């Protein structure tokens, strides 16, 4: 069965950045499953999977715009250290959560820490990055009525 809309796809993947550093992998665990055609994956990877079948292995290099998007400078802000006084062991690379103006929880990364302020970055950690995937499709099946109704794989 080929990968197309209304099908549930399972695959193993290893994700590396342009420098070849491994960022994520499903190896040794459960494969990732998603409902094809519902933007459950980054668009570039979904496009690469289209038309493939169980057992297919391939590599794909995906530009930032087809992955997690370009870095948005408006999402990077400097805040006074006073505002972060309640956080233990504040350090570069740390992930913080804050509530945005719309009430949604935002994930922030501490980009740098100065003497009086810190730079917080609300871009996705993989924004602006070219991503390299090694993929092995393990299963393709028709989605159930319930999965189609919910818009995701079960
Ligand atoms: Zn559901």
- One DSSP character per residue, 57-102 reads EEEEEE-GGGTT----GGGEEEEEGGGGTT-TT--TT-EEEEE-TT
Q: How far lies 94's CA from each of 75, 110, 121, 123, in Å?
A: 16, 5, 11, 14
Mean of pLDDT over the chain: 94
77-117 pLDDT, tens digit per residue, is 999 999 998 898 999 999 998 887 788 888 899 999 999 99
pLDDT (mean) for 42-52 = 97
Distance in Å, CA 34 to ligand 1 centroid: 11
Q: Do 64 and 17 touch, CB atoms closer than 8 A?
A: no
- Residue 149 Cα to ligand 1 midpoint, Å, equals 8
Distance 102 CA to ligand 1 centre (A): 25
How far does residue 11's CA lie from ligand 1's centre (Å)? 19
**Percent of the chain whose pLDDT exceeds 70:** 100
Rounded-to-integer distance, Cα 106 and Cα 89, Å: 20
Residue 146's pLDDT band (cuts 50, 70, 90): very high
Region 42-66 average pLDDT: 97
Ligand 1 centroid–CA 32 distance in Å is 15
Q: Rounded to the nearest whole angstrom, what is the distance from the C-alpha of residue 117 to the centroid of ligand 1?
A: 43
Residue 152 C-alpha to ligand 1 middle, in angstroms? Answer: 6
């Amino acid at each position: 069965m080929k990968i197309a809309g209304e099908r549930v796809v399972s695959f193993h993947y290893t994700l590396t950045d342009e420098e070849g550093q491994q960022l994520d992998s499903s190896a040794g665990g459960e494969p990732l499953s998603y409902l094809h055609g519902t933007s459950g994956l980054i668009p570039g990877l979904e496009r690469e999977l289209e038309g493939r079948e169980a057992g297919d292995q391939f590599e794909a290099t995906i530009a930032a715009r087809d992955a997690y998007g370009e870095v948005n400078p408006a999402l990077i802000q400097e805040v006074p250290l006073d505002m972060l006084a309640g956080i233990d062991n504040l350090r570069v690379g740390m992930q913080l959560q804050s509530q945005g103006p719309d009430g949604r929880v935002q994930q922030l990364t501490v980009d740098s820490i100065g003497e009086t302020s810190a730079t917080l970055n609300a871009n996705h950690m993989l924004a602006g990055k070219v991503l390299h995937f090694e993929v092995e499709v393990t299963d393709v099946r028709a989605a159930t009525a319930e999965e189609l109704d919910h818009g995701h794989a079960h």
